[in-house]
Amino acid sequence: MHLENGRDIFRGILLLISAAIAYWVDLPLGVGLVVFMGVMILQSAFTNWCPADLFLRPLGLKGHD
C-alpha cells in the first residue's frame, strides 16, 4: 500500500469519527474536526506532506517514486 492510500484511509476514518461525534456527542466538536481536516487536506495539496504521515511512515508506507 502506498502512502497516498494510507492518507485516504486515515481521512475516511476521521470523517466517520467526526460524524459520530457531531451526531451523538457534540455538534461543534464534530464540525470543528471536519474543518481541521479540510485545512490539512488543502495544505497537503500544496506541500505534499500531511500530518498523518507522522503515523503512516513508521508503519512502512512509502510514497510514489
**What is the residue extent of each domain of the chain?**
3-55
The amino acid at residue 5 is N
CB 50 within 8 A of CB 8: no
Q: Provide the pLDDT for residue 17.
A: 93
Give which of 61, 48, 57, 44 is closest to 5, Cα–Cα. Answer: 61
Dist CA 23 CA 39 (whole Å): 22
Give residue-wise pLDDT tens across range 7-56: 889 999 999 999 999 999 989 998 999 999 999 899 988 998 888 888 88
**Angle, in degrees to the nearest 10, between helices 27-47 and 3-20:** 160
pTM: 0.78
Q: Provide the pLDDT for residue 42.
A: 92
